Amino acid sequence: KQEVTQIPAALSVPEGENLVLNCSFTDSAIYNLQWFRQDPGKGLTSLLLIQSSQREQTSGRLNASLDKSSGRSTLYIAASQPGDSATYLCAVREPGNMLTFGGGTRLMVKP
Amino acid sequence: EAGVAQSPRYKIIEKRQSVAFWCNPISGHATLYWYQQILGQGPKLLIQFQNNGVVDDSQLPKDRFSAERLKGVDSTLKIQPAKLEDSAVYLCASSLLQSFGSGANVLTFGAGSRLTVL
């Protein structure tokens, strides 16, 4: 059974710092990996999707990497801003179309 | 483009009562998902529809949970009778296709329905 783990569970940084969020998964037989952002009381917003054949995806200040063989992905946020404060979730899509989520990392960026 | 609509946003009930949640996906999205998100955890898939057929309901507690998508558009998730451990946010999501290896399977989520069972 696929297990997705996100470390750290919570992170607090001062504004302007570059930071890395980690996601690991136990079964490397995945089709893709997706990073989401969730604001309090809101649904999930898709940030980046990396296909299993890709190594990374970039969108603005966000860069996500994927190392399928080692079961790891990272989300890099450059020059963090208070508006980046949210919970960040990674999810892997497996054969059978199951999408399995990690527990999330709660990020707080202090002004 | 209108997003995924869900209602009600909040619901408080007592245990053993019943509750129903409604979801209207993005127009043209064939695939619809219901997820349960308990506080502090990631979402867990309850059921997935492709048009009006069930693709995966392996994690749906079928003794108390039911879901339908009769015309392949809107969907309803029902809980009867509710238990304390059902307190969670119920998220609905939709995607254009179920095909793999394609950006078309990016999920779009609704804002969720928060259930509190007392």
Distances (CA, A) of A6 to A2, A87, B115: 13, 11, 25
Nearest Cα residue in chain A from B104? A49
Q: Are A85 and A15 in contact (CB under 8 A)?
A: no
Q: CB atoms < 10 A from the CB of A59, how many?
A: 10
Residues of B in contact with A99 (CB under 8 A): 33, 45, 107
Tell me how far apart the alpha carbons of residues B95 and B110 are, in angstroms, rounded to a whole number.
12
d(CA A102, CA A49): 15
The predicted structure's pLDDT at residue A97: 64
Q: What is the pLDDT along chain B (118 residues), one digit of tens a residue?
A: 679 999 999 999 999 999 999 999 999 898 899 999 998 889 999 999 988 899 889 889 999 999 999 888 999 999 999 999 999 999 999 988 655 445 546 788 999 999 999 9
Closest residue to A102, CB basis, from B33, B40, B42: B42
Q: Identify from B105, B108, B114, B116 which residue to disrupt to test chain A contact, counting A C-beta atoms within 10 A and taking the largest count.
A: B105
Q: What percent of chain A has pLDDT over 70?
A: 98
pLDDT at position B98, please? 57
The C-alpha atoms of residue B14 and residue B17 are separated, in whole angstroms, by 6
**CA–CA dist A53, B118 (Å, integer):** 47
Q: Please state, in angstroms and as integers, the Cα–Cα distance from residue B88 to each residue in A76, A86, B32, B75, B85, following that order.
A: 30, 19, 19, 18, 8
Q: Identify whether the C-beta of residue A93 lies closer than 8 Å to the C-beta of residue A30.
A: yes
Q: Which of A44, A59, A106 to mutate to test the interface with B (most CBs of B within 10 A)?
A: A44
What is the per-residue burial (b if ≥16 Cβ within 10 Å, else e) of B72-85?
A: ebebebebeebeee
Task: Note the pLDDT tens digit of each residue in A34-65.
Answer: 999 999 878 899 899 998 999 999 999 999 99
Residue of B nearest to A102 (CA): B42
Distance CA B44, CA B39 (A): 12
